[in-house]
Amino acid sequence: MTDITELGIAAIRDGVAGGDFTAVEVAEAFNANIAAALALNAFIVETPEIALNMAKSVDDDRAAGKELGKMAGVPIGMKDLFCTEGTQTTAASNILGGFVPQYESTVSANLWKAGAGMLGKLNLDQFAMGSSNETSAFGNVISPWRIGGGNNAPLAPGGSSGGSSAAISARLCPAATGTDTGGSIRQPAAFTGITGIKPTYGRCSRWGVVAFASSLDQAGPMAHDVRDCAIMLESMAGFDPKDSTSLDLPVPDWEAALNSNLKGKKVGVPREYRMDGTDQDILDSWDQGIAWLKDAGADIVDISLPHTKYALPAYYIIAPAEASSNLSRYDGVRYGMREVPEGANLQDMYAATRSAGFGAEVKRRIMIGTYVLSAGFYDAYYTQAQKVRTLISQDFKAAFSECDVILAPTTPTASFPLGDKDKDPLSMYLNDVFAVPASMAGLPAMSVPCGLDKDGLPLGLQIIGNMLDEQSVLNAGLAIEERAGFTARPDKWW
């Protein structure tokens, strides 16, 4: 029998449905891999019992002849930004230390309804703020990838969904949830040689997901391949009346409509994404991607997204502004950490609790956000950034009148050693320079692995689609996946 942990969502789903193995066997196999991979620090909480119980109920349903869900028997990792009823949820921050929600996020509830099981809560950058998973209060996640040739420096799995990317890449789970505010699904997927898609803003409910920047936050699947992402996104998405920004639209059958023949499709290549500081390997992989899509039948068109260079600065105004307000609720009054120094009044308690509870990067963003919303600065920063955001959306709107999808690199470099950029926030932020524009415009965007760089580290290509057109993104991703034949994997050292 093959090692079950080598399989992805579709294979496990089909194997369980066909009786090749039981859901409990699947859960046991992944539980074992997780227990053996503590060195990666991918999980904050492991929940092997929950995984087994959920698997057992799938096996029981199958035995009883009941109809099985889209992800029946597939155990997954849950990014610890999703509130899970009865299981600690921390957003990787001390301020939520020991917090156990009495409610289940809509996205996780949808996944359980589809038959998926929970292996544990995945580590992440604190409050999803970071690009290397170095801001977690629970320690760094270590990428399973290494440069090799004797260089054993621990590498960044990307962020903020770094626990998710590391766990999938190391076969600790076949798939995991991610959230993407400015690249937090795509960048870690690219760094670890897996696939991840951020759907159109509003596809997945934000209810029960710890908020970072409400107008940008969007959940999405991370998995081994395009088909698995399509299956999992179908299970996650859907209208939720509890989220006012949720889209009241039916969920398309993305898996069934997968088609890598791009004949008649136009692929836009944005000239502004050829930026200084981008690795030659990345530029080469982009050219390779263009060739692959041509080979799949697509026409390549040169497009312009003129406001691209303003996207990152505007993002680092809007996202911190929203975060500074969203994180106000962590005040020590009702749940989570509370610090009350001797003789403290209410203000002292706030200051002590928030000083002790938040990490440095979270504090930095709260300070930036507070500053840009302050009287006298609001128009110069926040209003201006919103205008830029509108212009970026208009750029994309114009571009999609000329093409069906856009092809670009996911990141300007491959993964980097932990500790390389954490003292220099700006160079860290630049990691998301290609990812942020699609977030600002609320567009679906995906990263698929396309090869290795000169150091043997994975690289990703990004496909950006028009509003609600996840299908074209998935199809173009599939075309690349088929041609890239990406089978590289990290040597097991953990």
Site residues (CB under 8 A) for another protein?
82-83, 89, 91, 96, 99, 101-103, 105, 206-211, 213-215, 241-245, 321-322, 324-325, 327-329, 331, 333-335, 346-347, 350, 370, 373-375, 378, 382
d(CA 462, CA 294): 16
d(CA 350, CA 358): 12
Maximum distance among all Cα pairs of the chain, rounded to whole angstroms: 72
Task: Confirm if 41 and 142 have CB atoms less than 8 A apart.
Answer: yes
382/429 with CB nearer another protein = 382
- What are the φ/ψ torsions at residue 445 (nearest 5 degrees)? -155, 145
Nearest distance from C-beta of residue 469 to another protein, angstroms: 22
DSSP string, 126-147: GGG--SSS-S-TT-PPPPS---
75/101 with CB nearer another protein = 101
Nearest alpha carbon to residue 352 among 367, 334, 326, 330:
330
Angle (nearest 5°) at CA 74 between 68 and 75:
135
d(CA 247, CA 221): 18
d(CA 307, CA 7): 42
276/342 with CB nearer another protein = 342
Q: Report the SS3 class of residue 42.
A: coil
Nearest distance from C-beta of residue 85 to another protein, angstroms: 12
User: How does strand 195-198 pair with strand 445-452?
Assistant: antiparallel
105/260 with CB nearer another protein = 105
Nearest distance from C-beta of residue 391 to another protein, angstroms: 18
Nearest distance from C-beta of residue 398 to another protein, angstroms: 24
Nearest distance from C-beta of residue 208 to another protein, angstroms: 4
Based on the number of CB atoms within 10 Å of its own CB, is 25 exposed (0-12), middle (13-18) or buried (19 or more)?
middle
Nearest distance from C-beta of residue 102 to another protein, angstroms: 8
213/406 with CB nearer another protein = 213
d(CA 126, CA 250): 33
Whose tokens are 């020590």? That residue is 332
d(CA 24, CA 478): 30
82/112 with CB nearer another protein = 82
Nearest alpha carbon to residue 185 among 220, 209, 214:
220
Nearest distance from C-beta of residue 213 to another protein, angstroms: 7
164/285 with CB nearer another protein = 164
43/207 with CB nearer another protein = 207
E strand or H helix that includes residue 84: none
Q: How far apart are the first and last CA of the chain?
A: 24
Measuring CA to CA, how many Å separate 433 from each of 165, 281, 424, 449, 457? 19, 17, 15, 18, 20
Nearest distance from C-beta of residue 181 to another protein, angstroms: 12
Q: Tokens for 348?
A: 């002292």
Instruction: Please identify every residue annotated as catalytic.
Output: 79, 160, 184
Angle between helices 9-18 and 48-63 (to 10 degrees): 50
d(CA 390, CA 405): 20
User: How does strand 195-198 pair with strand 117-122?
Assistant: unpaired
